[in-house]
Amino acid sequence: MRLIRKSIVPSVALLAAFPGLAVAQEVSAADAMFTVNNTWMMVATFLVFIMHLGFATLESGLTQSKNTVNILFKNMGIIAIGLLTYALLGFNLMYPGEFSIGGIFGFAGFGVGTDPEGLTSAYNPGYTYWTDFLFQGMFAATAATIVSGAVAERVKLGSFLVFSTVYVALVYPFLGSWKWGGGWLDAMGFYDFAGSTLVHSVGGWAALAGVIFLGPRLGKYVNGEIRPILGHNLPLAVIGMFLLWLGWFGFNGGSVLSADPGLVSFVLVTTSMAAAAGIIGAMLTTWIIHKHPDASMVLNGALAGLVGITAGADVVSVLSSIIIGLIAGVIVVFSVEIIDRAKLDDPVGAISVHLTCGIWGTLAVGLFSADFSIVTQLIGVLAYGAVAFPAASVIFLTLKATMGLRVSDTVERRGLDLSEHNMEAYPDYTIFTAR
């Protein structure tokens, strides 16, 4: 083995005699590293894609069976809308390059690149243009998926799809450019590693607006009482949670933007520790408050921990990630209770998971990392809320005044599956066998 290794590794004298050989070796190593980095980024993209299946199963499980087809349809529509609008203008709106006005607004033109050579190996040292576009496009679609669960069981399908198109095409990439596109918040020192604010809070603000303008589901609040409307399939919801956790390995791990073994593995550890601590935090809180551990709240605890760590997964310690996740698990329980008492009907707890815990995770970067300022983090949180919520409100109000936003009481009672899709997720086959 040693003889073989000596025969293939050039000696110092040989490299000195043939300097071109050293250059060739360096190029070869750079090409190999480029391939490794690009492959990991593609794998991370696949994992983020899986998150859309996780959202679909989670939302379906936590809602009534008569609306399952509608939930699944919305989640299929969102991924298509997200990718197509991101290709049309979202990518170049979020990453305007030099085409930026004061770091607030910029636009590099419509459509994706058309120069295959210039957009592959020459794009950057880590991965191709196409990998970058697809990875970021998956994030864009996630922001609209967050809204889907909050407005479930009473929003008109057409109105929701129009909202998703406008919000993902314009609002999400415009706000994303402030940090990830090198905008004014990035210059200020605001930090959001993988999107506690840029993705989750931006989606959470829109979810809050949708819930306010839609109103609660029929029978949810009667005579001052809060009446739970139970989801039809908890196993499906738990499957969704685990799929989302799996996808988060790509969501956070891919945000390293390389296959750096040390940093990627560290980020995966902090991500998982926060999720685990979120489960414990939610479990203990519900056990203490309600005298029994609530399974649906515990699965939201895992997601709360994941959202909470997303802003600082690469810059906080493992111990800090556990604390962040634990607090997120506690916060999400109280947030769900407060939102419910305010008569804001959120069937899946999306506002609490993504908005409340997204804010917490962003602020936690300033609390647990000496490199970042809590004041700057707060400015970022407020800036995103100041634009995302009003923008979503304007879109929802416009749709309410034109297309209509909510289905009729008759449609809601019958279920959106039969009323809007003319099909059921769980058909009653006994009517056929009885003939």
pLDDT in tens, the chain (435 residues): 333 333 334 455 544 555 555 555 555 777 788 889 999 999 999 999 999 999 999 999 999 999 999 999 999 999 999 999 999 999 999 998 777 787 888 888 888 876 555 555 556 778 888 899 999 999 998 888 999 999 999 999 999 999 999 999 999 999 999 999 999 999 999 999 999 999 999 999 999 999 999 999 999 999 888 998 999 999 999 999 999 999 999 999 999 999 999 999 999 999 999 999 999 999 999 999 999 999 999 999 999 999 999 999 999 999 999 999 999 999 999 999 999 999 999 999 999 999 999 999 999 999 999 999 999 999 999 999 999 999 999 999 999 999 999 999 999 999 999 999 999 999 876 655 555
For residue 181, tell me if it sits in a domain. yes
For residue 271, tell me if it sits in a domain. yes
Query: Is residue 338 within a helix (H) or strand (E), and if so which, with residue range?
Result: helix 318-341
For residue 8, tell me if it sits in a domain. no
For residue 2, tell me if it sits in a domain. no
For residue 7, tell me if it sits in a domain. no
For residue 3, tell me if it sits in a domain. no
CATH number at residue 429: 1.10.3430.10
Residues whose CB is less than 8 angstroms from the CB of residue 7 and which lie 6 or more positions away in sequence, other chains included = none
For residue 132, tell me if it sits in a domain. yes
Sequence-ordered alpha helix ranges (H) in 215-256: 234-253
Residue with tokens 């750079």: 30
- Provide the whole-model pTM: 0.90
Q: In this structure, what are the phi and psi dihedrals at residue 152, rounded to the nearest 5 degrees?
A: -65, 150
Count CA atoms within 13 Å of residue 54 on its CB side.
20
For residue 1, tell me if it sits in a domain. no
How far, in Å, are 89, 109, 322 from residue 113 at the CA level? 11, 10, 41
- Looking at the structure of the chain, the number of domains it has is 1
Instruction: For 384-412, give one letter per residue: b (16+ CB within 10 A) or e.
Output: bbebbbebbbebbeebeeeeebbbeeeeb
Q: The domain containing residue 409 runs over which residues?
A: 19-433
